[in-house]
Amino acid sequence: MLAPILRRLRWRRMSLWLLVMAIVGCLGFLIFTNQVPVLDEDPLSLKTKLKEAAKAFSWGSDDDHQPPSLQPPPQSPQPRQPTSLQAFQNRSQRVRDACSAKSGSAAQGQPPFPYHSLYVRSMSFCALPKTGTTFWKWILYYVDKNMTGPLLSHDYGDIHKLTRYMEKADRLPPSDGFKNIVFVREPYARLFSAYVDKLFTPRWENWQRLAQPAMAYARPGASFINRRCSHNVTFSEFVRFFIHGEMDRDARVKRNEHFVPISHQCNFCGIGYDFIGRQERFAEDTLGILRQLNRSDILTFSALDEHYEVYFMDALIKYHFEHELKKISATFRCMSAEQILRRMWKAVQIRGTLSAEEFFPLARSDIQGMTLEGFLLMAHLAYNRSASDKDRQHNTAQALFEAYSTVPLHDRQLLRQIFDDDFKLFGYEPNHPLVFPPEDEFDLPYYRYFDIYDSFLYTSIV
């Protein structure tokens, strides 16, 4: 079955390039004949602007007393190094200083939201969602079970269930010899990531728990099918619901740990964290912590580069084939198999694993009978082709820019207010240019990450 599909895919890609070349040729002819006005060349194109703004989400320096820089990295960057102990100490000191400036119960470390930590050997890890917690649970399980071999060579299955025996709720860790670890994340990016993972990516359980209340609040006149499924809650509607739950404590909204501000969890002002990692520097910080714990043998930069992205992509695809794509799945009453697979494909692109130029590989007629093995093969071929696209590392920032462009300025200002303690504790920028662009103008590129049908080319090549 795969052979004709792959042949069709090659023809689709060839047709796409021919069409693009024809369009470029026509535009060139029109410009040459002065029928289309030529704008003055802008040395800082939209793509460059997005890349520069994206760097505040994707990289930084060891000088964590300053907000993430918007300046480009050096032309010849030095090889990556594990984060130094001094950098971790600077972050911890920043938190202590911010907590000292507080008053009342907040300064005494009373967290307004329940949290839990995992205790393994001499480590205490606060499991803060959407900051790389799943990966760190793999590390903790690997250490506690005395596993051998490469960390990412093991199939951990449902790691959240496997590590429940390690959990202790709202508990101060022992002070003698314990190392307290936590990872944090840029607040706007964390909220966006939670939306993509919990609402945009098809999963019936999440739609029931998280999307249905958001739909009921943000779209009270929704149709019966939308109220029942809530599969198409937009990012703007989700943000409105989140603001409602955070700012109106009488709203009786059940807050969720994936969305609640970081500063409301993990008791930052009550626990002296030895290592505060940043999701934006996940590889460097993870290896830096492991070095300080004398466990550098567990992981290397090369292992992360070679296996991390594919590991997550495979896990996402396998989950959807084994659960959401089954005929008995409740998801099938809300979306077709094609729509489920297309959303999943887009979610992988938003993560930056696949290039935005890798259009969904299946025609509608090829969906029925597609196997897990066949789809994994297509995904791996697309991943191999994506290796040459250096811009894919900016997919997440560009998708975030698109998402926040749909959120009214007033709601974004309320988000800034809600995340105020996060900015103070961890040094993130409140007026990030991807969320608050100059003059509040969102100049979007043509490609749309949340349009599951890719582009206008869809109707002519499927």
Amino acid 326: pLDDT:
80
Instruction: Say if CB 370 and CB 325 are below 8 A apart.
Output: no
Sign of CA dihedral 193, 69, 81, 87: negative
Q: In this model, does residue 148 exceed pLDDT 70?
A: yes
Q: Which of 406, 412, 359, 410 is nearest to 382 (CA)?
A: 359
pLDDT of 462 over the 60 cut = no
Residue 82: predicted pLDDT: 95
Within-domain flag for 236? yes
Rounded mean pLDDT of the chain?
82
User: Confidence band (pLDDT; 50, 70, 90) for 251?
Assistant: low
Task: Give the pLDDT confidence score for residue 22 in this predicted structure.
Answer: 59
Task: Please state the φ and ψ torsions of residue 117, each to the nearest 5 degrees.
Answer: -120, 155
Q: Does residue 433 lie in a domain region? A: yes
Range with the poorest average pLDDT among 153-162, 217-226, 351-360: 153-162
Cα separation, 142 vs 118, whole angstroms: 13
Q: What is the DSSP letter of 320?
A: I
Residue-wise pLDDT for 319-328, tens only, equals 999 888 886 6
Is 249 contained in some domain? yes
Q: 295: which 2 tokens?
A: 């466990």
Question: Which position has the token pair 């077709």?
Answer: 336
Decide if pLDDT at 188 tops 80: yes
**Which pLDDT belongs to residue 384?**
95
pLDDT of residue 16: 52
Percent of the chain with pLDDT over 70: 77
Structure tokens at 417: 């207010």
In a domain, 334, yes or no: yes
d(CA 61, CA 77): 12
Q: Give the list of residues 6+ apart from residue 86 with CB closer than 8 angstroms, or none.
A: 62
Tokens representing 164 are 């429940």
Cβ atoms of 199 and 214 within 8 Å: the answer is yes
What integer is the mean pLDDT of 305-314? 89
> Is 432 within the bounds of a domain?
yes
Q: 91 with 64: CB under 8 angstroms?
A: yes
Could you tell me which residues are beta bridge partners of residue 118? 125, 167
pLDDT at 203 exceeding the cut of 70: yes
Residue 182 burial (CB < 10 Å; 0-12/13-18/19+)? Answer: buried
Q: How many domains does the chain have?
A: 1
**Residue 126 structure tokens:** 């606060």
pLDDT, average across residues 162-179: 79
pLDDT digits (tens, 9 = 90+) for 10-44: 555 555 555 556 555 555 544 444 433 333 334 34
Average pLDDT over residues 144-152: 90
Closest CA to 456 of 25, 48, 27, 23: 23
Structural domain for 289, as ranges: 47-58+83-461
In this predicted model, what pLDDT tens digit does every residue of 58-117 receive, in sequence order?
433 444 434 333 333 444 457 889 999 999 999 999 999 999 987 654 444 334 788 889
Strand partners for 183: 277
Residue 250 has pLDDT above 50, yes or no: yes
Instruction: Report the DSSP pairing between strands 275-278 and 167-169.
Output: unpaired
How many Cβ atoms are within 10 Å of 429's Cβ, its own excluded?
20
| Banded pLDDT at 154 (limits 50, 70, 90) | confident
Model confidence band, residue 51 (pLDDT cutoffs 50, 70, 90): low
Q: Which of 291-300, 328-337, 349-358, 407-416 has the lowest mean pLDDT?
A: 328-337
Mean pLDDT of 143-160: 88
Residue 8 lies in a domain: no
Let me know: does 262 contact 190? Beta carbons within 8 Å: yes
Looking at the predicted structure, is the pLDDT value of residue 265 above 80? yes
pLDDT confidence of residue 47: 52
Of 21, 54, 81, which is closest to residue 398 (Cα–Cα)?
54
pLDDT at 305: 85
- Confirm whether 72 is domain-assigned: no
Structure tokens at 367: 């969906």
Assign 362 a pLDDT band (cuts: 50, 70, 90): very high
367 pLDDT above the threshold of 50: yes
Q: Residue 381 domain-assigned?
A: yes
pLDDT of amino acid 30: 43
**DSSP secondary structure string for all residues of 85-141:** HHHHHHHHHHHHHHHHT--GGGGGT--SS--EEEEETTEEEE--TTSSHHHHHHHHH
pLDDT at 103: 60
Higher pLDDT, 250 or 239: 239
